[in-house]
Amino acid sequence: MNIKIIGSGSYIPTRTVKNTDFSDHTFLDELGAPLPHSSDVIISKLKDITGISERRYVEPQLVNSDIAFFAAEKAIEDARIDPETLDYIIVAQNYGDVVFGSNQSDSVPSIASRVKNKLRIKNPNCAAFDVVCGCPGWIQGVLQANAFIRAGMAKRILVIGSETLSRVVDPHDRDSMIYSDGAGATILEETADNAGLLSFQSATFTMDECDFIYFGKSYDKKDINNTRYIKMYGRKIYEFALKQVPQAMKNCLDKSGYGIDDVKKILIHQANEKMDEAIVSRFYKLFKKNPPELIMPMSIGQLGNSSVATVPTLYDRLVKGKLENHSIQKGDIIIFASVGAGMNINAIVYKY
C-alpha cells in the first residue's frame, strides 16, 4: 500500500516585488553599521548567488490562513472530492498569521483550524493541526499523512504548506530580499497501485546546527521596540546543506528500489539557486554521474523563497504544465527534498 497525491493547488500572490524595489533600502551589518557597498551592488550580488530577480508578497488585507485556504480550495477542486470526507488537515507553517503592519505572530487557533473553518467543513472528526518544522514542513506533513493512512487512522488527508515571510523580515538585513509568500496544497489518499510515496528519509541536527536560522533583533540599533525578525547564518547553512542533503537524498533513493537513472525530476526547496544546483550536483556525484539537463525545475528566480510553500507550489505548477520546458508523465520517479530551520532535512521518493 502507498499513499498518492490525488489533487494539488497553489496560491501565488499577485503583488510582485522586484530587486529594484530595494534600491532605497539601507542595509546594515550585525553591528548596525552600513554595509560597504551601495544597495544596487548588494542587490546585484544577491541576484548572482540566489538567482532571485523578483518575489511575491501577499496583499495587505490577507494573512497566512487566507492563502492556505486559497490553495486548499484549488487542491480540493482538482481532486474532485467532498471536503467533508477529509480525515485530517495538516498545515506546515512557522510564523502563524501576521497582520500587515504588525510583527506579532498569531498561531492560536492553529492555521489548520482556521483553514477548516474557512472551508466550512462541519465534520468534527476531521482533525486539524499545524506542523512547525522549518522549510521542510510540507514534506514532513506528507510523512505524517503517510503514517496516519498506513496505520489505518485515515483515508484522505489535506496537507498544506503556507507562509508569509514578508511579514517577519528585517528591512535592514540584506537576507530579507530572499524571502517571499505563497501556499501550496495537496490531497493524499491510499492507492492500490504501485505509485505514490515509495520511501523517505528525515533527520534533525541540533548539536551545533540548531540556531542556524533563528529569530533576532533588527540590525538597526535605533529600533527600541525589541521586535524580532527571521535571521540566518547563510554560509553555515550552505555548508551544512551541501554536506547533509545529498546523502539524505541518496539514502532515500536507495531504499526505494529505484536507481539514479530512473529519476526524472528533483523538486528541491527553493532556498538559493546556487545552493540547490550544488546539492543536486553532489547528489549525482555520489553515483559518479552528472545531473541530466532539466532534472531540477526552479521557481526561486520569480517567486523567491516562500519556505514551506516552495515544494508543493513547484509540484502543482509541474503537474499543471506551468513550468516552461518541464513536464511529468505517469510512472515517472520524482525526488522531493528540503532543508531548513531546526536544522531539519527530509526527502521523499515518489512515483507519479
**Domains of the chain, CATH where assigned:** 2-193 (3.40.47.10), 198-351 (3.40.47.10)
The pLDDT value given to residue 299: 95
The pLDDT value given to residue 269: 96
The pLDDT value given to residue 192: 83
Q: Which amino acid is residue 248, in one-letter code? A: A
Q: Is the dihedral of CA 9, 130, 62, 323 positive or negative?
A: negative
Closest CA to 68 of 95, 46, 42, 101: 95
The pLDDT value given to residue 103: 74
What 3-state class would DSSP assign to 347? strand
Instruction: Let me know: does 240 contact 233? Beta carbons within 8 Å.
Output: no
State yes or no: cis peptide before 124, omega within 30 of 0. Answer: no
The pLDDT value given to residue 94: 96
The pLDDT value given to residue 86: 98
Instruction: Let me know: does 344 contact 134? Beta carbons within 8 Å.
Output: yes
Q: How far apart are CA 115 and CA 122, in angstroms?
A: 12
Q: What pLDDT tens digit does each residue of the chain (352 aa) get?
A: 789 999 999 999 999 999 999 998 889 998 888 998 888 899 999 999 999 999 999 999 999 999 999 999 999 999 999 999 999 999 999 999 999 988 788 989 999 999 999 999 999 999 999 999 999 999 999 999 999 999 999 999 999 999 999 999 999 999 999 999 999 999 999 988 889 999 999 999 999 999 999 999 999 888 878 888 999 999 999 999 999 999 999 999 999 999 999 999 999 999 999 999 999 999 999 999 999 999 999 999 999 999 999 999 999 999 999 998 999 999 999 999 999 999 999 999 999 9
Measured in degrees and rounded to the nearest 5, phi and psi for residue 127 equal: -85, 140
What 3-state class would DSSP assign to 221? coil
